[in-house]
Structure 1
């Protein structure tokens, strides 16, 4: 089994006042222990240069979900040869509160602003910080081959922002869509087109209670409204000849991508119970996300074969491609 280690770094988010202008990053990478005194005394292991240059996946968190909740996924991605990056940015949330945020520029999500700039200001500073990072991964990251993996609101801003970051070659989300709240000035039931000039994977659990618990903000009639994630796949994404996909995980809920779930924050209280083993849901999710990244970041032909096998997995309730 590969040895995975991690490093910390920081990024300044321009335009925000201290102390709410800093994102703290953690970078997970395949390591090569050498047993040296330097390693023993510092706790820092060299990166395994044989797999370099490594593609990068940036995990964009949901609101008030700390980066430690995605550590399990970051490790699994690094085991598959994709350096994974998580980050915590404590900034302003809705209503003037503060908390962990992927960063949401509300003006960029309004009718007169959408399409002019990313709806999250965090992506460029995070990638620039990675380019300047010193230590074991310096010179070993391929920052022209980046995937965004977003959960919940983090997935929404990833879908709305990727095309403004040309290094992004793939976007994958869990429990996310591009329906937009009427409070921002949009007509009821509006699905915004994704701003992602690359393959997109939408993953959703069949037991997602948070999506349902938030649906009234989109102004639709509860008796006739359709699932926002399905509508995003049908209306927000172009036909890419099968490179775009919507996968539903049988029995998984909104926080299936999170481990452990922190019930003191975020909105897990809205979620439905999971049917089946949450560890099995995570295992399948990691395989789907890692394989998708390898397909579209490295062109690994074996990944395409693995993807076809995953589509037949018993934990996949349905899969659509376009």
Structure 2
């Protein structure tokens, strides 16, 4: 990471062809590393050129949790952009669940059916975002500077789930890996599955699962899956154990001591989200977010960008006696 790198961002919008108006528009915020000098000219909107010496930039597409503002994850977008990544967050107001209008990560719930699961991505916003990235590669501030063969999906809660489920080159050849916080693949029994069923993941790209021991949202939603969790992290641990085979050394699970469901967000989400279901964090949320950023950054550098030093640093960190690490392993 270059802490001297200045991060800038700009906005874009795109249409989702499968959605009906007025819920068919996604608004994007695109973060990029910039390094303006005293002689750099900026336009009237304060835009500065990308730090082209770091290009081509791998891209992270971030999927927010339901009714969580994308601005709540800006801290992470900035941290990753300082590492030489372009990060895309988005806001999409839509009716993903029948009768429920929300700020959504974009979930195609029809794909969760036993007949369809695994045949298509569950991230319904992803095709439109990838198309927009192709356009940005052709013209504009980032033209020619994106590495669209290294696109990483990341997300929180339901956003983390669709990131993991959609991370397959069989769906999109641009994809190179995925990471998730507070996401799992346990599926509701109302969809025709046995209680507590873990749906498989594509298991073809590097994957990082993160969870918190004090995740009250997961703990208090267990009834939706017809089970009672022994611990809040049980569905995340089971997803790691049962949904992927591993064997390449690039699939990780990291459980953080004292972290709750919303500690990955840096602003108050209580007006619209399910904060009322969460438990209090019992460790410093600032320290937790710092560890999040380090683990995610090293994971991307090590396994997506193929930097052996970062891969070694990640595994050394996860083997350390850091008091925030409840459990960490890989396969």
Q: Same fold (TM over 0.5)?
A: yes
Match of 1:5 in 2: 8
Cα offsets for 1:53-94 (capped at 9, x unmatched): 010111111101111011000000001111111011111132
Q: Following the alignment from structure 2 to structure 1, what is the Cα–Cα distance between the partners of residues 252 and 20?
A: 39
For structure 2, list consecutive stretches of 5 or more residues without a partner in the other structure: none
After superposition, where does 1:12-27 map in structure 2 within 5 Å?
12-27=15-30
Decide which of 68, 74, 82 is 1:79's aligned counterpart.
82
Q: CA RMSD in A?
A: 1.8
Distance 1:305 1:158 in 2: 25
C-alpha distance in 1 between matches for 2:43 and 2:165:
44
Q: 1:223 to 1:204 in 2, by over 3 A?
A: closer
1:221 to 1:172, Cα distance in 2 relative to 1, 3 A: closer
Q: 1:194 to 1:139 in 2, by over 3 A?
A: same
Q: Secondary structure at the match of 2:58?
A: strand
Q: d(CA) in 2 for partners of 1:143 and 1:137? A: 12
Given the alignment, which residue of 161, 164, 187 partners 1:156? 161
**Residues 225, 79 of structure 1: alpha-carbon distance in 2 compared, 3 angstrom cutoff:** closer
- Please show how residues 1-322 of structure 1 align to structure 2 within 5 Å: 1-35=4-38, 38-39=41-42, 41-133=44-136, 134-163=139-168, 164-220=171-227, 227-311=234-318, 312=320, 313-322=322-331
Give 1:215 shift.
0.8
- Quick one: distance in 2 between partners of 1:166 and 1:179? 26
CA contact (8 A) 2:9 2:32 kept: yes
Question: Relative to structure 1, is the Cα distance of residues 132 and 30 closer, same or farther in structure 2, using a 3 angstrom cutoff?
Answer: same
- Per-residue CA deviation, residues 193-215 of structure 1 (Å, 9 max, x unaligned), is 01242011100011111111111
| Partner secondary structure for residue 224 of structure 2 | helix
Aligned residues: 322
Do 2:114 and 2:192's aligned partners in 1 also have CA atoms closer than 8 Å?
yes
Query: Residues of 2 paired with 1:42 and 1:57: CA distance?
Result: 24
User: Structure 2: how far apart are the matches of 1:61 and 1:260?
Assistant: 13
Instruction: Give the Å deviation of 1:188.
Output: 1.2
Contact 1:146 1:167 (C-alpha < 8 Å) held by counterparts = yes
- Contact 2:177-2:207 at 8 Å conserved across structures: yes
Task: Report the alpha carbon displacement of residue 305 of structure 1 after superposing the two structures with TM.
Answer: 2.4
TM-score for both structures, normalised by structure 2: 0.93
